[in-house]
Structure formats: structure tokens, C-alpha cells
Chains A and B, each alone.
Chain A
Amino acid sequence: MIALLMRDLRLATRAGGGFGLGLAFFLIVCTLVPFGVGPQGGTLALIAPGILWVGALLACLLSLDRIFALDWEDGSLDLLATAPLPLEGAVLVKAAAHWITTGLPLVAAAPVFGILLHLPGAAQPWLVAALALGTPALSMLGAFGAALTVGLRRGGLLMSLLVLPLYVPTLIFGAEAVRRGAAGGDGTTPLVLLAGITMAVLAAIPFAAAGALRVNLR
């Protein structure tokens, strides 16, 4: 499993691997919004939690179709399915690699983007905590969507339609935690619910995704 993780990370950082694409996309979204909404700090601060979360969702979505599609094309997925490593484990590892290359940079860079959007300083720790707890669920659910659509031509769009609705609970509680933090309140309750959603997703989805892969490999 460690070998698979290291390979995926190495591939992501090599030429054409797409490492940092999600982060750059996130940066552009956060830069464009003030241009569109206008530079008034009050308005921006009001919508910042929502924008940051939606931006994170879309940045995550950007690289999802790579999770299995590339391995399917070059035959690696067939070989992984016949390897001693259980397919559920492979799914978990590939989702983890996706999170490390997409979610983790977002978490680390989020405070900078918060400043771009006039997010109050009090909300910054909540933003980082919410993203850190929520983005693993985004990668895992995305792996499920990618597993369902692997092998389909133009599967990327279909995958977005399948995956985005599944992101709704994470979005609601993640943005709510940041909003409460921005209002100077306590965001613990939505944060705990967010963590709960992520736990449930990490526990259940590898099995569903591996099942979908097995059907698609036939």
C-alpha cells in the first residue's frame, strides 16, 4: 500500500502529473470573486466562507477523473485488481494520494485565500480546521465517483454530476463552521458533524468504490 501511495505521489509531481493545478484553480477563483462582487470588505467577508468552500469543492473535482482513469487506460488497474493488495485498500490509498496532492495544499494555503476575501481573522482557525476535516471526505467521495465512471468516454462530466450532490453535507457543515467563526461564535458543533461525515465516508466508501471498480473491470 505504501508502494502505491509513493508511486501516485511521485507521478503527481512528475511532468504532466497535475500537482498544484487544484491549488492554482482555487487561487484564481478567490481572485476572481472580488473582481465580480466588488471590493467592499463587508460584502466579501459575508460570502467568504461559502466562496472558499465552493472553491475547494471545485478545485478538488478538477483532478478527480485522474484517480482511476489513467490506471485503467494503461492496464495498471487490471494488474492492481489481481494483486495481493485488496481493491478496497487500493481505493483508500489512491484517495489518500489525491488528498495529499489536492486537499492538503488547499488546507495549508487557505489562510492566504481567506485574506484575499476579507475573511475576519477570528474565522481563520475555523477555516483551516474545517477544510482539514472536510477535504478527506471530498477525495474519498470523488474516488467513488471516479470508480463508477471509469472506462466511460467523457466520464468526467458525468462524474461531476454524480459527485457534487454527495458533497452537499460536507459543504453545509464546513461553511457553517467558518461562518460561525467569522461571526465571533463557536463553530464546534458543525465541525464535529463535519468530522462525523468524513469518518462515515472513509469507513463505507472504499467498499462501494471497490465494488464499482470490479463491475467496471469486467
Chain B
Amino acid sequence: MEPLLSVRGLAVSRGGRRAVEGVDFTLSAGQALILRGPNGIGKTTLLRTVAGLQPPAAGQVEADPDAIAYAAHADGLKAALTVAENLEFWRLVFGGPPIAAAIQAMDLGALVQRPAAMLSAGQKRRLGLARLLVTGRRVWVLDEPTVSLDAGSVALFADAVRGHLAQGGAALMATHIDLGLPEAQVLDLGPFRAVGAPLRSRAPASFDEAFG
């Protein structure tokens, strides 16, 4: 089967310093891959590279750029718009399926008319994940998708990922906690740490470095 995403010999750098190098993996339809590794090893940088937001320092990322949906710490929500307006906007931009299914999948039905400013952190997170469903894209690239979710919401998220995989999608996730997806493969980035990179940076300069 033709892989949806294939990464070969990938090295990424952050702030001019190599983070990880020599990373190889492929993702085919129906597969999920979880990236693990200590803080600061370069998980966020790797995901941003895969999503095409920054160029690789070496190696290749082969994927249809119109196949990837990226979701990071920030959910891309506008506080002044309602839940439905936020979702509808991203649906129109990405040209995906109607928002009703996404609202149901993330259990946002009661919040549809509420401004995003009035949502709790976990509810915002669910809305941010619902956005993935309305992009209609096949490869999800997720950075810490379950931050601030309660156990029930993590289960909802796991169901959504499973549904996505069953429909021929794929998912690449960086996370520290158990997502309840036993079928997902796990890739520990520890062995790929770039030679000469510090074990743990002393003073993270930015949010991304601190939580990458």
C-alpha cells in the first residue's frame, strides 16, 4: 500500500541547533504513530517540519501537502466567534465535510452557540480537535492533543482517532500520556537525539522549547 506519509533520514533543528536526526518512519492508511521522548528533544519541531511549517535540516518528508491537518497547543480559535462559527470557518477554508458530525463526535452539541471565549480549557481543546474532523484531511499531525482533557474527553478523542483510522486516515501524535489507543505504534525519539545536543536545555527560551 502506498504510504500517506513517509519520512526518511529526517533531521530537524530548532534555533540553529540540531534536535533529532536520522528519523525514519512511514504511515499508511489506518495507522497511528505516537512519538515519545523527554521535554525539549524536538517533538514539536519534528511535527512542524512534517506539517510543512519549517524546512527539514536534512532528509525528506514525502507527503501530499494537501493531506496533512496540523493541530498544536494553540487551537486557532477566535474568542469572539461562537463554536459553530469557528468550526464553519475552518470547514470553509479546508473544504471539508459538514460540521454537524464533528460537533457530535466531540460532544459540543450544548455549546454550539456559545462564544469560544466562554469555553473552559478542555472545551476549547475539544473544539480544536473537532476542527480536525472538518478539515477532511487524511493525515492528522497532533502535538499533545490531550492537554487539559478529562478522562471522558480523552476517550472521545480516542474514538475520533479510531474512526479516522477506520476511514483510511492516519495520525502522527506526540504525547506523554496514554491515549487509550493500544493499536498505535510508538516511536521513542530518545535514540535519535542529535549528537552534541544537550541532554536538557537549561533555560527554555520559548513556549515551544519548553513544551516541545
Between-chain CB contacts (< 8 Å), 24 pairs = A3-B89, A3-B93, A4-B89, A10-B85, A11-B80, A16-B80, A17-B80, A74-B77, A74-B78, A74-B79, A75-B74, A75-B75, A75-B76, A78-B53, A78-B70, A78-B76, A79-B71, A79-B90, A82-B51, A82-B52, A84-B93, A217-B53, A217-B54, A218-B53
Additional 7 contacts, C-beta under 8 A, given A14-B81, A76-B76? A2-B92, A3-B89, A3-B93, A7-B78, A80-B93, A82-B65, A85-B93
Residue A15, interface by CB 8 Å: yes
B129 CB to nearest chain A CB (Å): 13
A79 and B80: CB pair below 8 A? no
Contact residues in A for B55 (Cβ distance below 8 Å)? 218
Q: Does the CB pair B69–A11 fall under 8 Å?
A: no
Residues 1-52 of A contacting B (Cβ, < 8 Å): 2-4, 7, 10-11, 14-17
The distance from the CB of A27 to the nearest CB of chain B, in whole angstroms, is 25
Q: Which residues of A contact B94 (CB under 8 A)?
A: 83-84
List, in ascending order, chain B residues with CB within 8 A of A75's CB.
Answer: 72-76
B76 touches which of A10, A79, A217 (Cβ 8 Å) = A79
Residues of chain A contacted by B38 (CB below 8 angstroms): none
B66: which A residues are within 8 A, CB to CB? 84
Interface residues of A in 62-85 (CB under 8 A from B): 73-76, 78-85
Tell me how far the C-beta of A88 lies from the nearest C-beta in chain B, rounded to whole angstroms: 15
Interface residues of B in 150-166 (CB under 8 A from A): none
**B32 on interface, CB distance cutoff 8 Å:** no
Report how many residues on chain B are interfacial, defined by Cβ distance under 8 Å. 30
**B-binding residues in A (CB < 8 A):** 2-4, 7, 10-11, 14-17, 73-76, 78-85, 217-218
A10 to B71, CA, bound (A): 24
A45 to chain B, nearest CB (A): 42
What residues of chain B have their CB less than 8 Å away from a CB belonging to chain A? 48, 51-55, 65-66, 68-81, 85, 89-90, 92-95, 131
Among B48, B70, B85, point to the contact of A79 (Cβ < 8 A).
Answer: B70
* Chain B: minimal CB distance from A152 (Å): 12
Alpha-carbon gap, A129 to B36, bound state (A) = 60
B75 close to A82 (CB less than 8 A): no
- Bound: A14/B80 CA distance, A: 6
Closest 10 CB pairs of A and B: A75-B74, A3-B92, A14-B80, A218-B54, A76-B76, A75-B76, A79-B76, A7-B89, A82-B70, A83-B93
CB distance from B99 to the nearest CB of A (A): 13
* Closest Cβ–Cβ distance, residue B137 to chain A (whole Å): 9
Neighbour of A84 across the interface among B77, B78, B79, B95, CB < 8 A: B95
Q: How far is the CA of A4 from the CA of B85 in the complex (A)?
A: 12
A17 to B115, CA, bound (A): 14
Which residues of A sit under 8 angstroms from B81, Cβ to Cβ? 7, 10-11, 14
A15–B75 alpha-carbon span in the complex (Å): 20
Please give the distance in Å from A12's CB to the nearest CB on chain B.
9
In the complex, what's the smallest C-beta–C-beta distance from A207 to chain B, in angstroms? 18
Whose C-beta in chain A lies nearest to the C-beta of B51? A82
User: Given contacts A11-B81, A217-B54, A218-B54, is CB(A78)–CB(B72) below 8 Å?
Assistant: yes
The residue in chain B whose Cβ has the minimal distance to the Cβ of A75 is B74
The distance in angstroms between the C-alpha atoms of A166 and B134, with both chains bound, is 40
- List chain B residues, Cβ under 8 A from A10: 80-81, 85
Residues of A within 8 A of B79 (CB): 74
A16 CA / B117 CA spacing, docked (Å):
12
Assembly CA distance A80 to B73 (angstroms):
15
A1 to chain B, nearest CB (A): 9
Whether A74 and B54, one on each chain, are in contact in the complex, defined by CB atoms closer than 8 angstroms, is no
Q: Which chain B residues border A15 with CB–CB below 8 Å?
A: 80
Contacts of A81 in B (CB 8 A): 52-53
Bound-complex Cα distance A148 to B85 (A): 29
Complex partner residue of B53 from A2, A4, A73, A82, CB under 8 angstroms:
A82
- Output the nearest chain B residue to A72 by Cβ-Cβ distance: B74
Report the minimal beta-carbon distance from A105 to chain B, rounded to whole angstroms.
Answer: 20
